[in-house]
Chain A
């Protein structure tokens, strides 16, 4: 039943593929604007300066650092998060929802806040020294960046795995067990292989995060390629050389996408059995309960407990009430960009996921990955290109909320594709065919059969994008209407000026509303 054969390939793009292609082309065109802009900038560079800035050995070293960090974060996330996803979906565990929310919550914590919090643990005046009287060395360099980024990216893997695990057909595992496989053998030879699409999708996202991160690595004093890129954006006003570095980053992203496509090639993981699918039964943990709780508590203590308590400490260090005045406006601002962006991304992700799963071919694979390419364009370049484009075509919508939402949607689309694709992999094309044979059109068949199955993935997608948008900075900086406020802008503004007490309520508001969102989401998931 776990087939590796090719899905029945359609020799021509049918109408439904045609419908799916329209939004993809639109996203492609949207992504083309910054790309053309980058290329135009890049080719106005001067030779000598180009060599001095772009093609120097130091950049290669920085790239190597980036690779080491990416590999490390992927490995650590894999080790830490896979058991958590398993425990919270398959085991009878008191407080399962609670731990699910906690495992997803690091998404609500801006990377630099995570780094500040981990840094605050060590040193003479660190939290550990204050609590226990002996100081531990401060985290920095590779271990510091590794820990902060792993904690910060872990929910991407957790949520993707969760969606996949919840959608697995238990009959496969039951067959394996009936054939005499032990539980752990079943896990390794039956369950894990089926999770591959989820691993790849989240691996890709995590890698892109590590590649693009500057906040964490700069605070942890570990220099990666984005250090060179960001420095260039900070120092020059023209961004000609930055464009070169951005293109190099895009080329590297292209390699990653190629790799992922190769790995995913020709895998199908949908059920072929008859009858309605069932939820996997929950296993009793028995004596394993204690280690399971210990592990979950430790994990979430590091990823959520440490940063949340650091923010609390900031707050108690002396809160200035006047800093609270803007809280309401900032909250409304954050929500009114994050909610539409989340929903739009989830909807837009469907065609991307659909053509790559149902019409696997070189072209559809390439098309489906456009979203990731757009994601890898440095947001600053993206915003500036959009400014240039809008002012010369439709100046009246420049600096309006719809433009900001448009930019965020395009940028964060990649985060939505993975979960939607994972859930689509589990839906058999037979369903659509059956609906077709009952006289529904392709599009009707899609909405009658696939859409309900996709809901789970779409909820995860909405959540991922919502949480990412709540923390968004560079696009908001340059594209939001003048006077527009968000929670993230305030956190950033106060922390850069070392006004941590004032930043705390805004950071807590992000945590709180993201937490509610995740809680609602997991509740809904449990019902579908």
Chain B
């Protein structure tokens, strides 16, 4: 018994302590809260680790949940960076003054429409709202030119959307800014009266479209492209509404540096890397998103960025921070 104990103290404990110390002195580490799926961003994070030797520890979760976590953690947060799926969550964290201002060298890499006006966060990639449709059941000439056409009787019960989805809500917020509260409410009521079908998120919209449950859908642009990657004959297609229609909104994923970050140099290196040509090329080639910098070879499956920016309604992303107003409107209309 005594012998065992002394062995424990002489060998086992020192080794354990050594391992623990090795864990702490191990190269630089960086903790990132990522609302972006692991499936989408892990390859590019691995690339960053390989190039810089900085170890990146990522907590992946839903963007809203991570924003709530950050607000609960306050200045005790172990995270250095918050990488969010949408601008709304970045705005909420920014409002609590939890972000540091990003340096000009980073901000100047992207056009003004792809960053926070006060410089607290920067977009890392863009995505567009589109009109997805069934080419078998909807002829090209029948396609609606605007979201306002979707309330016509010919589309009764044929359209699907995902009202709990953050991108959908960003679109409604943009709609309120663009056409006003009253017209937005009228449109939402019109859609509801037209038996629009509610889905949990974007993926089920695409599946319902293929299954024949609906003929039109309002998702983000990249979901269908991922289905097509697996099966080029997948029976659905997508297009844009006419230029400047609210239905063509371009939204972003973005990243901000937390004040509580203990390793700001490494964190900024990471942000810088995400805005490098290599990372941006990955986002567009592999994830089917839009780059936020110039000089990236466009993905042939995507409408070119320049064309997209002409189709999309123009917005200052900071104008779109009234999520509360959107949600209470959706509640009033009983969509949520």
Residues of chain A touching chain B, judged by Cβ–Cβ distance below 8 Å, are 49, 52-53, 56, 58, 119-120, 122-126, 135, 138, 140, 218-219, 221, 230-231, 233-239, 317-318, 322-323, 326, 380, 384, 387-388, 391, 395, 398-399, 474, 477-478, 480-483, 489-490, 493-502
Contact = CB atoms under 8 A, between A and B. Distances in A.
A52 B69 CA distance: 25
B58 interface: yes
B64 A233 contact: yes
12 contacts: A58-B334, A124-B211, A126-B211, A138-B208, A218-B200, A219-B204, A235-B64, A237-B68, A322-B43, A380-B65, A482-B59, A497-B226
B60 interface: yes
Contact of A318 (B79, B89, B197, B230): B230
Given A219-B200, A235-B64, A480-B59, A498 B69 contact: no
Contact of A124 (B169, B203, B210, B334): B210
Indicate the member of B39, B57, B76, B197 with the most A CB atoms within 10 Å.
B39
Contact of B39 (A138, A318, A398, A502): A502
B76 A391 contact: yes
A123 B212 contact: yes
Interface in B209-233: 210-213, 223, 226-227, 229-231
Nearest to A386: B72
A138 B211 contact: yes
B66 to A, nearest CB: 8
B327 to A, nearest CB: 5
A399 B71 contact: no
Contact of B78 (A138, A236, A399): A399
Given A123-B212, A235-B169, A384 B69 contact: yes
Contacts of B38: 489-490, 493
Given A317-B230, A480-B59, A237 B67 contact: yes
B280 interface: no
Central interface residue in B42, B59, B206, by most chain A CB within 10 Å: B59
Given A218-B200, A233-B64, A497-B226, A398 B78 contact: yes
A501 B68 contact: no
B72 A384 contact: yes
B227 A123 contact: no
A478 B65 contact: yes
Given A478-B61, A501-B230, A237 B76 contact: no
Nearest to A480: B59
B282 interface: no
Nearest to A380: B65
A125 B37 contact: no
Interface centre among A49, A318, A493 (most CB of B within 10 A): A493
B213 A123 contact: yes
Contacts of B40: 497
Contacts of B61: 477-478
B297 to A, nearest CB: 21
Given A493-B39, A498-B203, A501-B230, A477 B331 contact: no
Given A219-B200, A391-B72, A399-B59, 11 more contacts: A52-B332, A122-B211, A124-B212, A221-B198, A231-B164, A239-B68, A387-B73, A482-B78, A483-B59, A489-B38, A494-B37
A391 B77 CA distance: 9
A423 to B, nearest CB: 37
Contact of A391 (B65, B73, B169, B226): B73
B321 interface: no
Q: Report which residue of A474, A498, A500 has the largest number of chain B beta carbons within 10 angstroms of its beta carbon.
A: A498
A205 B127 CA distance: 42
Nearest to A238: B71
Contacts of A123: 208, 210-213
Contacts of A501: 230
Contacts of A122: 211
Contacts of B324: 236
Contacts of A140: 213
Contacts of A317: 230-231
A52 to B, nearest CB: 6
A90 to B, nearest CB: 42
**Nearest 6 A/B pairs, CB to CB:** A123-B211, A218-B200, A477-B61, A482-B57, A483-B57, A124-B212
Most B-side CB within 10 Å, residue of A234, A388, A489:
A234
A219 B206 CA distance: 13
A131 to B, nearest CB: 15
A498 B211 contact: no
Nearest to B67: A237
A126 B42 CA distance: 32
Contact of B207 (A119, A322, A384, A474): A119
A478 B69 contact: yes
Contacts of A52: 328, 331-332
B97 interface: no
Nearest to B197: A221
A122 B89 CA distance: 37
B223 A498 contact: yes
A306 to B, nearest CB: 16
A231 B336 contact: yes
Nearest to B43: A322
B46 to A, nearest CB: 9
Contacts of B229: 318
A216 to B, nearest CB: 10
Nearest to B46: A325
B235 A124 contact: yes
B164 A387 contact: no
Interface in B151-204: 164, 166, 169, 197-204
A501 B336 CA distance: 32
B124 interface: no
B92 interface: yes
B31 interface: yes
A138 B197 CA distance: 14
